[in-house]
Chains A and B, each alone.
Chain A
Amino acid sequence: MAGETITRQQLSEAVYQEVGLSRNESADLLELVLEKISQTLANGDSVKISSFGSFTIRNKGQRIGRNPKTGEEVPILPRRVLVFRPSQVLKARIGGAGPGELD
């Protein structure tokens, strides 16, 4: 399975084909979608796209890490991380795994 890499270009081309706006406007709208999602997440709010998945922010507390090379202990500061949880629909479309499996 030699996977290809899809980028903004193919996504905005799909919008162009589907909706019939100009290529420029299609690209701008894709960018606006990504920007709005990013800003919402930066505000600490989650983003839920039905039948696709949800993006949520998780707060991580401070913990002691270790430099794997030197073995030295270093504090890992509290930070926020983004977690993507795929919806059941997306999981089923990709993995073919039925609902109700152990996870």
Chain B
Amino acid sequence: MTKSELIAYLAEQNPHLYQRDVERIVTTIFDEIAAALARGDRVELRGFGAFSVKHRESRTGRNPRTGEAVQVAAKRVPYFKTGKQLREMINS
């Protein structure tokens, strides 16, 4: 399922809403999550899962093609941990 398929489904379930509003709803949700992570906040959606940011230290990596050592800078990466209820749904 893509974002546009999700929007189409929501529009179909909510015929009283304009398609453009449904688009804004979906965009707002994911944009708020991204903004929270960019601030270093965590987003916890009980039953679904939690988005957080993990810190990766700088390290010496290697160019796999040339074998040359390169310095990889420290960075922050987004992380998602599946919620209990969703994990059970996936395995049932």
Contacts and interface: CB of A to CB of B under 8 A. Distances in A.
Interface residues of A, number: 53
A33 B26 contact: yes
Interface in B53-73: 53, 61-64, 70, 72-73
A64 interface: no
Contacts of A52: 3, 30, 33-34
Given A3-B40, A5-B42, A94-B78, A80 B73 contact: no
B28 A80 contact: no
Interface residues of B, number: 55
Nearest to A101: B72
A11 B34 contact: no
Contacts of A79: 91
B75 A95 contact: yes
Interface in A85-103: 86, 90-91, 93-97, 101-102
Contact of A38 (B3, B79, B89): B89
A91 B77 CA distance: 6
A11 B90 contact: no
20 contacts: A6-B43, A6-B44, A8-B45, A11-B29, A14-B32, A15-B28, A15-B29, A33-B25, A37-B1, A38-B86, A41-B89, A48-B2, A51-B30, A55-B80, A84-B78, A93-B34, A94-B34, A101-B73, A102-B70, A102-B72
Interface of A: 1, 3-8, 10-11, 14-15, 18-19, 21, 26, 29-30, 32-34, 36-42, 45-53, 55, 57, 79-82, 84, 86, 90-91, 93-97, 101-102
